Amino acid sequence: MLKNSMLFRQLIYTISLSGFCCQVAAQSVNTSSAAVWTGYFYSIPVTEKWKILGDAQFRSKYGFSQLSQILARSGVSYAIQPNWTISAGAAYFKSSGQLHNENIFLDEYRLWQENAVQFYFHHITLSNRTRWEERWLQKKLEDGTNSFSYANRWRNKTTLTFPFSAVYSGEVGSEVMVVANQSNAVDLLRAFAGIYMVCKPSFIVQLQYLYQCQYKSIDAIHYRDNQHIVRLNIIQKFPQKL
């Protein structure tokens, strides 16, 4: 019970922090946009405790009008307990940017490690995922040459899921991302709500609304980018082969 109450307090603190940080950012330059993200997530059991997992995503911005980001991520997970897993892996991102008012695409390479736990209360599941990322981000210099900068980022995501029926379930949650080596420590804040449809135990469709607040500082000007995102994901859980 002590662990459960601590996790509930963590959820409250995360949501409170999100609101506070967005209030601070609201004193700065504000932009707003709509986006559509699609993704395919998979997990492949190797043994009872080990899994291969990953995802591939396509992200647009301004509706479908402009490609924002594509990514591929993969790793392995180990189940310490049925409700407690640790994972690690690597990822590749290609994200849109600008140079001399022209759209360009920049590479990013990541290593990541995470710890995830679930707590069950009758039919309700409370999940908490903490992830640490090591990131190498490409920079395009004014003369056209390339360089890479390094950054660490810590992420904490809390999700509450609850069933509507044997086929449909809902979710609400939030995520905060903190960067270690930049002036504005809070990088991204997210709040989301969605619904899952279980087509069969190994094949699930997720429809989600995601609000994302990104806080940036450029030349002593503070920007808050408000993104309203519709996500459509396919989740495939392969059965373990005997």
Q: Do the Cβ atoms of 146 and 140 come closer than 8 Å? A: yes
pLDDT at 168: 98
**Token representation of residue 16:** 């409170």
The one-digit pLDDT tens for each residue of the chain (242 residues) are 444 455 445 544 444 444 444 444 445 688 888 999 999 999 999 999 999 999 999 999 877 778 889 999 999 999 999 999 999 999 999 998 766 566 788 999 999 999 999 999 989 999 999 999 999 999 877 666 778 899 999 999 999 999 999 999 999 999 999 987 666 677 899 999 999 999 999 999 999 999 999 877 666 667 788 999 999 999 999 997 64
CA distances from 63 to 34, 129, 182 (A): 5, 29, 30
pLDDT at 62: 79
- Give the Cα separation of 223 and 184 in Å (integer): 11
Residues in Cβ contact with 228 at an 8 Å cutoff, skipping those fewer than 6 apart: 32, 33, 34, 35, 209, 210, 211
- Give the Cα separation of 208 and 193 in Å (integer): 6
pLDDT at 86: 98
Q: Do the Cβ atoms of 72 and 59 come closer than 8 Å? A: no
pLDDT at 54: 98
Paired with 160 in beta bridges are 126, 172
pLDDT at 101: 62
Pairing of β 29-45 and β 66-81: unpaired
Beta-sheet strands, E only, within the chain? 29-45, 50-61, 66-81, 84-99, 102-121, 124-140, 146-163, 168-179, 186-200, 203-218, 221-237
* DSSP symbol at 202: T
* DSSP symbol at 1: -
- Give the Cα separation of 123 and 44 in Å (integer): 25
